Structure 1
């Protein structure tokens, strides 16, 4: 064979190789599609750990032996979050949903089972037998694209699970601070009731001795009656807040008897600065990342729609036909759906519209995230300033006033009525101080959720 003949042979061999390469690649991808060792849990745990401030909570699993040490002492905010991530049934359900998404990914890397046909007929010249094997060639050719699409969806599922973990952590912190504040308020209202009851008894004696008017006695009795009502409301609020926290922790039975601290944590020495919170939100917020992945997956689906616009059903198969009076006939057949009525333009237009929708959804998510993080910081800073104002100004002034009124009363320069009136005002100031301190810790939680999670929670349970 001359040189030109060798070159032509090599060229034809190259053409055959290039034709087989996509098929070989698809078969290789099909062979590589398998389940991961942990179902994506490691990535979900890493995303959640970086945003909840409680490392190794998701990966630790649940169990009485892990919960017992956390429940043996008064819960901290981080301890409550750890229990919720380990034990909340909704969180477990979200993690279990990862399995379904991974199964879709693995399924997209597997070919449809081949079809086998067999036929036998009788005629005047004998009987005829037909045999056939068909393979989904279109599925094989589009497998890489389908794998990419499902891989993107699996990434979205992992982000969704991590987002639920971050949201659960935020909800748990809110419920925790609300419950502790309710305990603190209930205890203070119990002390206020004792004081109000003593005042009511004193007012009754003074009235009997003729030293107090009927009006003064009625005012003190109303203060006592209000204190009774306020304590009843405080007890219910403490119970309701504790039960909400219990539901988030996924506890029941003896586990629900966990202890809470008697007071909220002290305010930090200084408030956090705004710095680059918008940039942090764009980089760290999981809903922004999910929206981007959704747009990418939609773009991949649009590409797949274009590939299959004309070729919707393409199967290739081997056929074998034999009759009793003739030798066997071998060959192949290709089944192709002809685009005579449906040219796929509607599907392509729909895919393009969905992609446009995904892009606008991504832009809207980014705009909302920037706005939410600015609003959350304003709420955080206002709550910090108010809580500090009550701690450093209002409560100390109220204590000073109470001390001076008591000194004047002891020196017979102030009446019992003034002393009891000051007690009523002190109750209102202390309750407001507890509320502002609670609001600060909740606002801090909201700010972290706006930066790291999916924005402010609207959940009520």
Structure 2
């Protein structure tokens, strides 16, 4: 073997058994071949096991035109019926394009996992030199010895990174399901509140018109008429806000479900689901969920991945390239010559300290992120549970005390009107007050269901989003100190 046969003059050659290394390579590849396969669903089946445990629902990827056609047909069948919160979750998990993009990204991560578990293909070299009446043929077959030695570590690291991607995808599924639930409750509440604001507007219009006629007849003061007109103006403004809120929440629901086109084709129930007889007491379940929350598991998995990457960086700090190859050379008139080639990287300019420092810093960051994730998860669950209990208490007070009390007051006012003890304006003002109380109760019921949805999401591993924001202003209180 002469110098022209060597592929890298800066490499060091030492005596190794090429045949033994080749045999070991084939044995390693054979033992790992079962781990290097790519699943036909792109890892979605393993993801479904996580979502089934937390949402009670699997996920399905739309990988072909036939899958998309079946999904569209199923969604249309679901939309033909009045929606429920659970049905909205089903539609979102099957139909939302953003979630389907996440599932496709999981397929990319699984392909990377399979690739990491495979040895790099051998390199075949061929050279031909002719001159002076002689022809020289060089043939070489080179494999990466370092890649062979690192194959188990690379396989474990690839699996760890895929597990990260799977947990991240599961978080995206839980968040999408939560968004669908929240958007559903907000849309139903906004639709119900719109109906009450329309009733207030009708009553305000009637009172204003009656006041105008009585003032013209001289039976009503101008100040009293202006009061009725001012209330009518407030009612119109609140009705406009309620109409927009109903439209905005319906659009948000359509976005959460991944629906295109006019959201009016969605059929919503007329009212929110009634308040349960008793609040859930999920404190023990929440404590147990701390160990199974997706964000905590993801942080732990990232720390494990960083530890494996650090271990491999330490092992390969000085040697990052090691290749072994067999050589054959034919020259006109001479016997065939055989040999081997070893390529070894010399750590002259890059001793690997920067790579090692980076890996150590990544590991330390992952450890601190794990601790932060556990603390955040515990705090989120306490806050979400407190918000749930408070929302239930407020809604229970509104529906079991405030609304029945307002009903008794209205009944008494009607008796007083029939006995000619109060005027029609007092009766209209009381009706507006009653509608205002019911509106407040509907908002409280909406807040309860939003808190319930967030509590379920937090138990699964989604971040807590805080207390809901009230939408349109409740109808202005009527002025009962009357004429």
TM-score (norm 1): 0.90
* Equivalent residue, structure 2, for 1:39: 42
Q: Summarize the alignment of residues 405-444 of structure 1 with structure 2, pairs less than 5 Å apart.
A: 405-444=413-452
Q: Among residues 240, 243, 251, which one is paired with 1:243 in the alignment? A: 251
Q: Among residues 153, 167, 175, which one is paired with 1:167 in the alignment? A: 175
SS across alignment from 1:131 = strand
Give the aligned CA root-mean-square deviation in angstroms: 2.5
CA distance in 2, matches of 1:151, 1:66: 34
* Equivalent residue, structure 1, for 2:53: 50
SS across alignment from 1:327 = coil
Mean Cα displacement is larger for which, 395-404 or 109-118?
109-118
SS across alignment from 1:291 = helix
CA distance in 1, matches of 2:191, 2:351: 68
8 A contact 2:395–2:448 mirrored in 1: yes
Per-residue Cα deviation, 1:61-116 (whole angstroms, up to 9, x for no partner): 65233123311221111111111111111111111111111111111122222222
Matching of residue 85 in structure 1 with residue 93 in structure 2: yes
Q: Among residues 379, 383, 389, which one is paired with 1:375 in the alignment? A: 383
Matching of residue 446 in structure 1 with residue 454 in structure 2: yes
Kindly report structure 1 stretches of 4+ aligned residues shifted beyond 4 Å.
Answer: 16-23, 59-62, 122-125, 457-460
Q: 1:25: Cα distance to partner?
A: 3.1
Unaligned runs of 5+ in 2: 1-18, 470-483
Q: 1:120: Cα distance to partner?
A: 3.0
CA distance in 2, matches of 1:279, 1:26: 45
CA distance in 2, matches of 1:118, 1:20: 22
8 A contact 1:42–1:59 mirrored in 2: no
Q: 1:443: Cα distance to partner?
A: 0.4
CA distance in 2, matches of 1:122, 1:40: 54
SS across alignment from 1:147 = helix
Mean Cα displacement is larger for which, 419-428 or 160-169?
419-428
Q: 1:328: Cα distance to partner?
A: 2.3
Q: Summarize the alignment of residues 153-164 of structure 1 with structure 2, pairs less than 5 Å apart.
A: 153-164=161-172
Q: 1:242: Cα distance to partner?
A: 0.4
With over 3 angstroms needed to count, the CA separation of the structure-2 counterparts of 1:43 and 1:425, relative to structure 1, is: same
8 A contact 1:246–1:256 mirrored in 2: no
Unaligned runs of 5+ in 1: 1-15
8 A contact 2:42–2:108 mirrored in 1: no
Q: 1:56: Cα distance to partner?
A: 4.4
CA distance in 2, matches of 1:124, 1:26: 45
Q: 1:457: Cα distance to partner?
A: 4.5
Matching of residue 292 in structure 1 with residue 310 in structure 2: no
